[in-house]
Amino acid sequence: MLGADFVNQLETTLDADSGNQQTGTRMTHHQPAIETSPKVSDEIRKTTCYMCACRCGINVHMKDGPDGKKQVAYIEGNRDHPVNKGVLCAKGSAGIMQVNAPSRLKNPMKRVGPRGSGEFEDISWEEALTIATDWLKPLRETAPEKLAFFTGRDQSQSFTGMWAQNYGTPNYAAHGGFCSVNMAAGGIYTMGGAFWEFGQPDWDRAKLFMIFGVAEDHDSNPIKMGIGRLKANGGKMYGVNPIRSGYNAVADEWVGITPGTDGLFILALVHELLKAGKVDLNYLSQFTNSPVLVNDDPKSDDYGMFLRNKAGKMLVIDRKTGKTAAFDKKGVKPDLGGTHKVGKTPYRTVFQLMAERYLSDEYAPDAVAERCGITAGRIRAIAADIARVAFDEAFELDIPWTDFRGDKHEKMQGRPVAFHSMRGISAHSNGFQTARALHMLQIILGSVEAPGGFRFKPPYPKPVEGHPKPHFEVTPGKPLNGPHLGYPQGPEDLGLKPDGTAVRIDKAFTWENPLSAHGLMHMVISNAHAGDPYKIDTLFMFMANMSWNSSMNTSGVMKMLTDKGDDGEYVIPRIIYSDAYSSEMVAYADLILPDATYLERHDCISLLDRPICEADAMADSIRWPVIEPDRDVRGFQSVLVDLAVRLGLPGFVDDKGAAIYQDYADYIVNHQRRPGVGPLAGFRGKDGKGVGRGEPNPDQMQAYIDNGGFFEQHIPEEASYFKPWNAAYQKWAVEVGLFDHEQPYLFSIYSEPMRKFQAAAEGIGEHQPPEHLRAQLKRSMDPLPIWYSPNEEAAEDGGDFTVNALTQRPMAMYHSWGTQNAWLRQLHGHNPLYVPTKLWEKHGFKEGDWAQVSSPHGKITVPVSHMAALNGNTVWTWNAIGKRKGAWALDEGAPEATKGFLLNHLIHELLPTKKDGMRWNNSDPVTGQAAWFDLKVKIEKVAAPAESQPAFPPIKSPVGKGPKNLAWKVGK
Ligand code: SF4
């Protein structure tokens, strides 16, 4: 363990020209007189890490500084914490360099130079908040939709969403639309939860683990620990990814699939399993909609819809009686092969539709092998391996449980096959259906919520009907009529005005992308610039680097942000931005609200949002100011509370206009979303003993601090698996406030809401899509999982662009907003374009060479490097390493700014013009998920330029430049 002497004498030397850093130690003693058990700190403060989205517990070791203020000496993992159990990654340890980074913004600022110049004047908070209020107040009274409020990797969306709802704008979302909404929505519509942080493998009981499209993930440390446990138990891991990086590097078998074809590979596995009869018929019959009867008359207006009784319940054929029965009737034994007629209308089961589709030769390994870049023999072998483990290594747990029909089960049936997936399959235009296909694969094995399989973390699972629908009703001076984001159940839930145009600036929830549950942040600036569907007045963003690595068409976005109209005013008139660091986006804002770092403010990682739960326990956590800011900065959420009071927003002021909450910490403790249910579940009620439900407890925050920064409540053993159908789990979930009533449901292999959209595209129903979108909707809204070729491959002028191009976030910087971190820069100071052997040899590359990489949209010139463990027709690079000169307080000669680069310049938010003259969204047509990974390029060897291209002029740094040597002494 690194001791205090090491830390106290730490000096990190940052050579800004080369980017090489030496973290040197000047020891006060020389070997061998080493103090092996030094006093590490004066005090330990326990909070939650925010160096990525994993939400690990950390012990922040503090020392009293020379001025008497507490200083961070070092950070270690909290061994008692449910998420990481003491494990800390490189990012987590490097938090000390994050909270001391020279790039931290220091005070509120208003722009004084042209937009994009980086010229600002420091102002007081009072002036900043007065400016913001003067801009936002009249807007709310006249046209609240002219505020577009979008947040980046915000961990307080239940709060920011409520703020936006009370303001009254329909234009709110976080960054999910350009990250992995396909993963979330594909999971919710299929099984009421997804991978992401909605669930996790049953690490101790899984025997086969297959991971798709994951380099690093939100569940960072748990996956690392889990893989260790899996392997220690003799389990096997498959890594399906074009690039053998991250977790794939430790997989027992790497499957270097062609990007965008995961869905095809998965459906070939489904084909093989169905053909071999290796599916869990009992599970399918009891817990999924496989036995539900579907209208099979193509001439009927209800074609493809479920047969329901008068109460609206789905009907199945009961094997005991041969008659129809409600799916949830006590004792019913649903028949997977039943058929039925109502009058002349035939009905058959979802299972029959599945079998017909997936047993088709179209999905045979031989038919898909070449496209997927995996031999047919290997696909068959993997399917056989999955079947062997799922069925030959099946086991039972001696835990009796009762299902929602009242049927008692003496044991819990285990299926030790678990899957995990993330952005690699999600960020394609076929990602939603691919996510659905993967869920179908694990469902037909009977492994979801079974011991050994994939398990949900509370508050998931929740049926799609248990989630809100999106709301769009705008009334000047009033709140929006409900939450912005949700899950449409049919065309009637779309956000369209009477003239058919979009209610939202990002065109979420329209026929172009009906199920856009997280919005389309990547379309906000381009739509606002184009005035399509309308012009806005103020763009308000938090923690989203939209003028750089968070946007497609980066150069275009910079231009949109600085363009002026004929009247000489900016096309996007006002931009307010909040960030803790001097990111590239800062230069493009008019008003800067500087955020505090994660160790300087309150946060809650709430069950209302994305909690820290584990499959065995519900849990949530807090952050609190373990150090005081040494700058004039404020936590963004507290600033929103202040702004809300100045704007008089309902929910934030009482009848007399007085503030209900003093700041965000006050909100966290005292806000009630529903009576007795608030942002934090633990230590509720006057006595602090309430779990999930109870009155606000004024001592709640301190109780969390005293408890190590988190609260945890274990799920009773009989409720621990089969949660969607387990009566004990449903009862417990109501008791602890996860739901207000029990809501058992069936997994939706067949999605009726999707069929409603597809039927509309076929001309059925009152709500009809525009003609040009009918074919796209018919194809993409298929109610059974399907695979289609990704956008760019299907673009009509794909031309010479035949090489797949991808990015990945490095483990050491995954979700680390601030890759300027002096320690982490040592791991990734610049990013080459990695080229597979076949292309390397074809182009005659040598190490040190450069390539021009072009797409239908643009060109970049970048350094190349050889990588053998890579799909043969794919190039890739680390994402977001390249920096703009002048940003992040880095030297203009820093390698991030001279050799680093972004692939974003090659990706446009619109696809190339089609034959009909139209340019379509570069997004999944189901959810609007940004299709980053559909990119196809051409590469050519070129002479090395002085620096990577395109090179942009420097922006003026509002925080100056960091010193060559970062050094400080901790302690007295
Ligand atoms: S950076 Fe992420 S994985 Fe690492 S300790 Fe922090 S929260 Fe955990």
Measuring CA to CA, which residue among 511, 643, 484 is closest to residue 148? 484
List beta partners, residue 348.
Answer: 294, 339
| Ligand 1 and 221: CB distance under 6 A | yes
Let me know: does 519 contact 172? Beta carbons within 8 Å.
yes
Distance 395 CA to ligand 1 centre (A): 34
Say how far apart CA 54 and CA 613 lie, in whole Å. 11
pLDDT at residue 965, rounded to an integer = 86
Cβ–ligand 1 contact at 91 (below 6 Å): yes
Alpha carbon separation from 809 to 246, 875, 885 (Å, rounded)? 10, 15, 21
Chain mean pLDDT for the chain: 93
Residue 3: per-residue pLDDT: 39
Q: DSSP labels for 315-346?
A: EEEBTTTSSEEETT-TT--B-TT-EEEETTEE
Q: How confident is the model over 875-896, as pLDDT tens digits?
A: 999 998 999 999 999 999 999 9
**Helices first, then strands: H and E counts in the chain:** 25, 37
CA of 84 to the centre of ligand 1 (A): 8
Probe residue for ligand 1, chosen from 78, 84, 96 as the CB with the greatest number of ligand atoms within 8 Å: 84
Beta bridge partners of 349: 293
Q: How far apart are CA 501 and CA 497, in angstroms?
A: 5
pLDDT of residue 817: 65
* Cis amide bond preceding 461, omega within 30: yes
What pTM, to 2 d.p., does this model score?
A: 0.95
Give CA–CA dist 213/217, Å, rounded: 10
Q: Which of 57-61, 390-394, 446-450, 968-972 is least confident?
A: 968-972
- Which residues, listed in sequence order, are joined to residue 714 by a DSSP beta bridge? 617
Span of 506-510, 814-818, 869-873 with lowest mean pLDDT: 814-818
The residues, any chain, with a CB within 8 Å of residue 536's CB and separated by 6 or more, are: 145, 146, 147, 148, 171, 505, 528, 572, 573
What would the pLDDT profile of 285-331 be if each residue is shown by its tens digit? Answer: 999 999 999 999 999 999 999 999 999 999 999 999 999 999 999 99
83 lines ligand 1 (CB under 6 A): no
Q: How far is the CA of 256 from the centre of ligand 1 (A)?
A: 28
- Residues forming beta bridges with residue 265, ordered by sequence position: none
Sign of CA dihedral 666, 672, 678, 682: positive
- Closest approach atom of ligand 1 to CA 52: 2
- Measured distance CA(654)–CA(176) in Å, rounded: 33
With a cut of 90, say whether residue 19 has pLDDT above it.
Answer: no
- Asked whether the beta carbons of 906 and 862 are under 8 A apart, the reply is no
Measured in Å, residue 703 CA sits from the centre of ligand 1 at 23
Q: Report helix angle 262-275 to 350-358, nearest 10.
A: 110
Distance, in Å, from the CA atom of 31 to the CA atom of 34, rounded to the nearest integer, reads: 6
Q: HSE, CB side, 13 Å, CA atoms: give it for residue 338.
A: 26
Instruction: Give the Å distance between the CA of 5 and the centre of ligand 1.
Output: 24
pLDDT band at residue 969 under the 50/70/90 scheme: confident
Strand partners, 25: 10
| 131-135, 453-457, 904-908: segment of lowest average pLDDT | 904-908
Whether ligand 1 lies within 6 angstroms of the CB of 89 is answered as yes
Instruction: Judge if the beta carbon of residue 325 lies within 6 A of ligand 1.
Output: no
Give me the torsion for CA of 336, 337, 341, 342, rounded to 10°. Answer: 0
In this prediction, residue 153 carries a pLDDT of 79
Q: Is the CB of 621 under 6 A from ligand 1?
A: no
Q: Is the shortest distance between the CB of 54 and ligand 1 below 6 Å?
A: yes
Predicted local distance difference test score (pLDDT) of residue 796: 53
Task: Determine the atom of ligand 1 nearest the C-alpha atom of 84.
Answer: 8
CB of 81 closer than 6 angstroms to any ligand 1 atom: no
Dihedral sign computed on CA atoms, order 202, 207, 210, 211: positive
Q: Is 56 a pocket residue for ligand 1 (Cβ < 6 Å)?
A: yes
The token duo for 901 is 């680069």
Q: Whose CA is nearest to atom 8 of ligand 1?
A: 56
- Region 830-839: what's the mean pLDDT? 96
Distance CA 213, CA 941 (A): 29
- 52 Cβ inside 6 Å of ligand 1: yes
pLDDT category at 934 given cuts 50, 70, 90 is very high
If you average pLDDT over residues 380-390, what whole number do you get? 98
**Quick check: CB of 220 below 6 Å from ligand 1?**
yes
User: How many Å lie between the centroid of ligand 1 and the Cα of residue 89?
Assistant: 6
**Look-up: residue for tokens 């390994």?**
365
Cβ atoms < 10 Å from Cβ of 301: 12
CB of 84 closer than 6 angstroms to any ligand 1 atom = yes
Question: Is the minimum distance from the CB of 88 to ligand 1 under 6 angstroms?
Answer: yes
Which residue's structure tokens are 């395109």? Answer: 950
Instruction: Identify the H or E element spanning 401.
Output: strand 401-402
Written as one letter, the residue type at 42 is D
pLDDT over threshold 50, residue 508: yes
Q: Whose CA is nearest to atom 6 of ligand 1?
A: 92
CA distance between the termini of the chain: 22
Which ligand 1 atom minimizes the distance to the CA of 83?
Answer: 8
Which tens digits make up the pLDDT trace of 433-461? 999 999 999 999 999 999 999 999 999 99
- Element spanning 597, H or E: none
Residue 6 has pLDDT above 70, yes or no: no
Closest ligand 1 atom to Cα of 54: 7
Strands 324-326 and 315-317 come out as antiparallel
Taking only the tens place, the pLDDT of each residue in 699-723 is 999 999 999 999 999 999 999 999 9
| 98 ligand 1 Cβ < 6 A | no
The residue whose C-alpha atom lies closest to atom 2 belonging to ligand 1 is 52
Contact 399, 324 (CB under 8 A): no
The DSSP output letter for 388 is I
With beta carbons less than 8 A apart as the criterion, state whether 516 and 524 touch: no
Pocket test residue of 88, 597, 824 for ligand 1, highest count of atoms within 8 A of CB: 88
Residue with tokens 């694990």: 442
Q: Residue 925 pLDDT more than 50? A: yes
3-state SS, one letter per residue, for 413-472: EECCEEEEECHHHHCCCCHHHHHHHHHHHHHHCCCECCCCCEEECCCCCCCHHHCCCCCC
Mutate to test the pocket of ligand 1, among 59, 218, 221 (most ligand atoms within 8 A of CB): 221
CB 902 within 8 A of CB 549: yes
Phi, psi of 898 (to 5 degrees): -115, -40
Q: Ligand 1 pocket check: which of 220, 603, 817 to mutate, most ligand atoms within 8 Å of Cβ?
A: 220
Report CA(813)–ligand 1 centroid distance (Å).
10
Of the candidates 401, 285, 408, the one whose C-alpha atom is nearest the C-alpha of residue 721 is 401
- At residue 154, does pLDDT exceed 60? yes
Instruction: Encode pLDDT of 232-279 as tens digits.
Output: 999 999 999 999 999 999 999 999 999 999 999 999 999 999 999 999
Atom of ligand 1 nearest to the CA of 93: 5
Q: How far is the CA of 240 from the centre of ligand 1 (A)?
A: 24
